[in-house]
Every structure is written in structure tokens, then in C-alpha cells.
């Protein structure tokens, strides 16, 4: 039966058999985490791709008066008005001057969707979940509760559910 396969195909089949055997012995599947890289100022972050709905470049962000500094404004995305949060200000990271045109990453937890304003949108990468390292103890960001860990490339993995469920982000101040 194995004579019908090339040496390369036999190596692939052997690797699959080894992986299946490990899963049976440990009771666990090899787990991977796929992330989208984004940059804010000189900092690099990763967003779990499962929470990313869409990515847009060169989008108009309309400022909204009487909102906290982390609210960049609103954007009309395919006919839906979404709040836009400035990720740099939200994290307390150094930010640079931004205009009305921005790169946006729309994230969602199923119930709530928002757009994050970022400086650059990078690549999608798949990583083993066991490659996630703990955060450095000298990390100087305002909301460390938004962070999950350090990725192998040195970027920081963001906890989208912590961001979306933070009550601080609810702006419900009466105008006086």
C-alpha cells in the first residue's frame, strides 16, 4: 500500500499519524492561535483573529464632541455607524498626532462591535498557544487588564473580551 506514495507524501502521512497519536495519548489537540498584527506608535500588538470582523484603511473618522479622549469618533462602515476607540490612548501607550483618516480594525465579541484606530495593520500569523509568554513586569501601560501575554515576535496579545466588557468604555454622561 505504501508503494503508491512518494517519499514526501509518506512523510506527511507519518506526521499526521504522529499528531493523531499524541492527541489520543494526551487527550488534547495541538492548539494554535491566529493573530492580526497591528501597530500603535512604536508598539506592536496582536489581536485574536477570531474577534476581528473587518479591517479598513483610509476610513473617515468623525470626531464626537463631549467624549473621553480614547473615543476617536464614529465611522460609517458599510452603512453601520460604529464607535471608534483610539487604541493607543486606550492602552495609555504613546500616541502620535492623528487626522480624520485612519486605519481601523473592527472587533466584536458577538454582542458588541467597535472599531479600533491603529497606525498600521500588519500580517496574520498562526502561533502555538504554548508559545505565549507572560508579560514583562516593567510594562508601562495603563490598562494591563487588556493584555494576555507576549507573543514570540515581541508583540503583546490583546484580550478583546476584556476591552469590550470594560465599563469604563461606556460613555453615558449627560451634557450640561
Q: For 148-173, what is each residue's pLDDT tens digit?
A: 888 988 899 999 999 998 888 776 76
Distances (CA, A) of 47 to 66, 70, 97, 99: 29, 18, 23, 23
Query: Cβ contacts of residue 139 below 8 Å, gap of 6+?
Result: 147
**What is the model's pLDDT at position 160?**
92
**What is the model's pLDDT at position 14?**
76
**What is the model's pLDDT at position 107?**
95
Distances (CA, A) of 119 to 7, 100, 114: 47, 12, 16
**What is the model's pLDDT at position 52?**
95
**What is the model's pLDDT at position 175?**
64
**What is the model's pLDDT at position 48?**
94
Using CA atoms, how far apart are residues 161 and 174, in angstroms rounded to an integer? 27
Low-confidence ranges of the chain (pLDDT < 50): none
**What is the model's pLDDT at position 140?**
61
**What is the model's pLDDT at position 53?**
93
The pTM of this model reads 0.76
**What is the model's pLDDT at position 174?**
67
Amino acid at each position: 500500500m505504501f508503494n503508491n506514495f512518494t517519499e514526501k507524501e509518506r512523510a506527511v502521512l507519518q506526521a499526521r499519524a504522529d499528531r493523531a497519536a499524541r492527541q489520543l495519548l494526551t487527550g488534547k489537540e495541538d492548539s494554535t492561535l491566529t493573530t492580526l498584527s497591528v501597530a500603535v506608535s512604536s508598539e506592536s500588538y496582536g489581536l485574536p483573529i477570531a474577534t476581528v470582523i473587518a479591517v479598513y484603511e483610509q476610513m473617515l473618522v468623525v470626531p464626537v464632541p463631549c467624549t473621553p479622549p480614547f473615543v476617536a469618533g464614529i465611522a460609517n462602515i458599510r452603512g453601520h455607524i460604529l464607535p471608534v476607540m483610539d487604541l493607543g490612548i486606550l492602552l495609555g501607550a504613546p500616541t502620535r498626532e492623528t487626522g480624520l483618516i485612519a486605519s481601523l480594525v473592527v472587533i466584536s465579541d458577538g454582542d458588541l462591535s467597535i472599531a479600533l484606530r491603529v497606525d498600521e495593520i500588519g500580517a496574520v500569523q498562526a502561533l502555538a498557544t504554548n508559545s505565549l509568554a507572560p508579560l514583562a513586569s516593567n510594562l508601562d501601560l495603563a490598562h494591563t487588564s487588556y493584555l494576555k501575554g507576549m507573543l514570540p515576535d515581541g508583540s503583546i496579545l490583546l484580550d478583546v473580551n476584556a476591552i469590550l466588557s470594560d465599563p469604563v468604555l461606556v460613555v453615558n454622561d449627560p451634557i450640561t
